[in-house]
Structure 1
Amino acid sequence: MFDYETIRLIWWVFIGVVAIAFAVTEGFDFGVSALLPFIGKTDLERRVVINTVGATWEGNQVWLVLLGGAVFAIWPAVYATLFSGLYVAMLLVLFALFFRPAGFDYRSKIEDPRWRNAWDWCLFLGGTLPPILLGVLVGNLLLGLPFHLDQDLRPFYDGSFFALLNPFALLCGFAGLLLTLFHGALFLKWRSEGTIHQRATATVAALGPLLLTALAVITAWVFLAIDRPEITQMAAADAPSNPMNKTVIAHGAGWLQHFQTHAWMWLAPAAGFGGIFLAWKLGAGAARMAAFWSSALGIAGIGLTVGFGLFPFLLISKTDPRSSLTLWDASSSHTTLLLAFWITVVFLPIVLLYTRFVYRVIWGSVTEQTVLQDSQTLY
């Protein structure tokens, strides 16, 4: 039904949508957890904060599993390069995520302030470290990673974990944390009342300018100071995957190339900055739903801006530009892509409908009275 070139492009879109869905849903989960020790001053207030995401955090985290599985199936060379070269960083993300199920499930089992306070800080770590590390990953994707492929197409990582912690990547990590805190505060404002609602509103008002400034600095840094490789010759887009069948120069036309060629792509950064700015203005006032969805629009715009800028690259190699992986030369076979496509077409709508059903059933403000009335079953 679809030729090899078309199905490769479709999967680039699909995986981009999954990545944005993860950022939007798990983003507010991370943000709420990271804000827990600061917005919740008493044990009851912290239980209110936790239960705003208590019914959905597990489902939201599945988007990360789906993203990893999709990369493994569709772009195995990308999966092999990332998960072998960035093994330490990936393990740190995984270990940080371990705090979340334990913190949610065990925190309220014992009525001991020391016990609960310890788990509150574990939830804080589980909500703070992943967005920082994932932000650092995005920063290094834009800079390029130190890896190369040998004649058998085996990836070899040429750097170290600490080399990933460069100034630009750390700035991206800081921006990732700010974004999740901002997004989480908007969600918390939407689902809470009283004192917690007021603190969440104040948090949104304080974080908005910081986040916009960080995004502006990152954007200027990328466009003005980071080189982007350029493919000068490659095999046909429907050819079998072989990353070495192309010629790449290290210093290309720059990150503005696609945006200058396709003016409609400017809608992505416009949505990114415009969505965050609108969310800040609305969130600092009385708006709830509109502010949250404006933030979701901003996150989608940021994700699309990164995707458009990188296209067709998936991983840029700064050690050997020719080893850089693109969606045209790092994908699975045509048969695998088609089979995965039809599986996705059948099951993804079911997942989305079920997710919508869950949010519809559990929706409503979480208050101290709600927690007291259902103290034995809520977190």
Structure 2
Amino acid sequence: MAFLDYELLRLIWWTLLGVLLIGFAVTDGFDLGVAALLPFIARDDVERRIVINAIAPTWEGNQVWFILGGGAIFAAWPLVYAISFSGFYLAMFLVLAALILRPVAFKYRSKSDSPKWRGRWDWALFVSGPVPALVFGVAVGNVLQGAPFRVDDDLRATYVGGLLGLFTPFTLVCGLLSVAMLVLHGSAWLAVKVERGSIHYRARAFGTVAAVVSLLLFAVGWGFVAAGNGYAVQGSVDPLGPSNPTRMTTVIQQGAWLANYGRHPWMILAPVLGFGGTALALAGILVRREAAALVGSSVAACGIIATVGVSMFPFILPSSIDAHSSLTVWNASSSQATLGLMLGVTVVLLPIVLLYTAWVYRVMFGRVKTAQVVANVDLY
């Protein structure tokens, strides 16, 4: 990819990072949402097995997007990876601990017919849903308001925050929005994936509530962003410059996150998709158009995540205690050679991943039925 200049490579990898995060939210997001609904939507063991088998064939492959997202940050934005993963270490530990419970619970719940045994593993599955969703949302909220770190002249980063400091009114709104958004997505998936009956109708009921809550929290979050402080680059920017945050002057300004929409009006499409997709999902649930509801919840996830990205551009991880240490698309990337090499690998391998994923979903297409689950003891 030597024919691409440094500026374009940086922009491409910023876009690819967003695509990978959206891919994770759209695919593994409904797994998290279904897990969060498990204790409330399934009343007995057969119903719980139906709900579990609605996500069992694909959940493991869906986690690939999470791994790819982390890998992309590590390879394309090493300083962002170093600061965020070390600063948010305890939060990330909570996410990983919760996600580790999921495969263990899938494998072990059916090893015994004891109701207590299965009940404990079902609660483990439940924890693997809302906990990562909440922490992911809180992390995004902290990225928007800035993380407490500084970078010295030798590019040594120092993080001065703690776990409890991650939870503020704004970040909690972001965390609850993440949970509501994924519960809506999980509800829409169940409405499509399970046969019409008690689980199907409960999924639609929870989806209706989650859609309304998502709309309200997204509006509240948008209000915080509009009225609160953001970050802006002062002076000229060199998109071809070295990856050194100390060479860029950044200031904190009220309402700065809205400035991009004035410079690039097309960016308003992101929040429009967030609100519009959620409204489409709600309408699809209410009029019993399950496919439309699933499309709407997917579009909503795309729009909400994209809203964060386009609002912050070119920032990736601003600093709340030393604005001049803030990391942007232009000052925190890997070298041009590294970005070019990785892009070449991605161009070859990402279409293969997409095609294989599409083939798997096609093979696994169809509703999970009660008779099928009862008759097949090999299912979870």
With normalisation by structure 1, the TM-score equals: 0.98
Aligned counterpart in structure 2 of residue 43 of structure 1, from 39, 42, 45: 45
Question: Which residue of the partner structure matches residue 123 of structure 2?
Answer: 121
Deviation at 1:235, TM superposition (A): 5.2
Question: Which residue of the partner structure matches residue 161 of structure 1?
Answer: 163
**Aligned residue identity for 2:222:** T
Question: Which residue of the partner structure matches residue 180 of structure 1?
Answer: 182
Q: Secondary structure at the match of 2:257?
A: coil
**Aligned residue identity for 1:223:** A
Q: Secondary structure at the match of 2:289?
A: coil
Deviation at 1:130, TM superposition (A): 0.1
**Residues 113-163 of structure 1: CA deviation (Å, up to 9, x unaligned):** 000000011000011100000000011111111100012111111111111
With normalisation by structure 2, the TM-score equals: 0.97
Distance 1:34 1:230 in 2: 38
Question: Which residue of the partner structure matches residue 324 of structure 1?
Answer: 326
Unaligned runs of 5+ residues in structure 2 are none
2:26–2:301 Cα contact (<8 Å) kept: yes
Question: Which residue of the partner structure matches residue 143 of structure 1?
Answer: 145
**Aligned residue identity for 1:219:** W
**Aligned residue identity for 1:203:** F
Distance 1:36 1:356 in 2: 26
Aligned counterpart in structure 2 of residue 209 of structure 1, from 207, 212, 215: 212
Deviation at 1:207, TM superposition (A): 2.1
2:225–2:255 Cα contact (<8 Å) kept: no
Moved more, 206-215 or 133-142: 206-215
Distance 2:216 2:36 in 1: 21
Distance 1:262 1:152 in 2: 35
Deviation at 1:206, TM superposition (A): 2.2
Cα distance, 1:245–1:234 mapped onto 2, change above 3 Å: farther
Question: Which residue of the partner structure matches residue 337 of structure 1?
Answer: 339
Deviation at 1:51, TM superposition (A): 0.4
Deviation at 1:85, TM superposition (A): 1.0
Distance 2:90 2:308 in 1: 24
**Aligned residue identity for 1:205:** T
Deviation at 1:285, TM superposition (A): 2.5
Question: Which residue of the partner structure matches residue 203 of structure 2?
Answer: 200
Cα distance, 1:276–1:207 mapped onto 2, change above 3 Å: same
**Residues 74-101 of structure 1: CA deviation (Å, up to 9, x unaligned):** 0000000011111111111111111100
Moved more, 287-296 or 46-55: 287-296
Deviation at 1:316, TM superposition (A): 0.7
Question: Which residue of the partner structure matches residue 258 of structure 1?
Answer: 260
Distance 1:354 1:144 in 2: 38
Distance 2:70 2:291 in 1: 30
2:284–2:291 Cα contact (<8 Å) kept: no
Distance 2:263 2:238 in 1: 21
**Residues 33-75 of structure 1: CA deviation (Å, up to 9, x unaligned):** 1111111101010000000000000011111111001100000
Aligned counterpart in structure 1 of residue 246 of structure 2, from 238, 241, 244: 244
Distance 2:270 2:253 in 1: 24
Deviation at 1:234, TM superposition (A): 5.1
Q: Secondary structure at the match of 1:41?
A: coil
Q: Secondary structure at the match of 2:129?
A: helix
**Aligned residue identity for 2:290:** R
1:158–1:319 Cα contact (<8 Å) kept: no
Deviation at 1:252, TM superposition (A): 5.9
Distance 1:257 1:247 in 2: 17
| Root-mean-square deviation (Å) | 1.1
Deviation at 1:260, TM superposition (A): 1.7
**Residues 209-229 of structure 1: CA deviation (Å, up to 9, x unaligned):** 1221111111111101x2112
1:204–1:284 Cα contact (<8 Å) kept: no
1:230–1:253 Cα contact (<8 Å) kept: no
Q: Secondary structure at the match of 1:332?
A: coil
Distance 2:163 2:26 in 1: 27
Question: Which residue of the partner structure matches residue 233 of structure 2?
Answer: 231
**Aligned residue identity for 2:17:** I
**Aligned residue identity for 2:241:** A
Cα distance, 1:253–1:200 mapped onto 2, change above 3 Å: closer
Question: Which residue of the partner structure matches residue 11 of structure 1?
Answer: 13
Deviation at 1:286, TM superposition (A): 1.2
**Aligned residue identity for 2:96:** L
Distance 1:47 1:30 in 2: 16
Deviation at 1:240, TM superposition (A): 1.8
Instruction: Give the share of equivalent positions with the same residue, in percent.
Output: 48
**Aligned residue identity for 1:206:** V
Distance 1:154 1:373 in 2: 60
Moved more, 242-251 or 349-358: 242-251
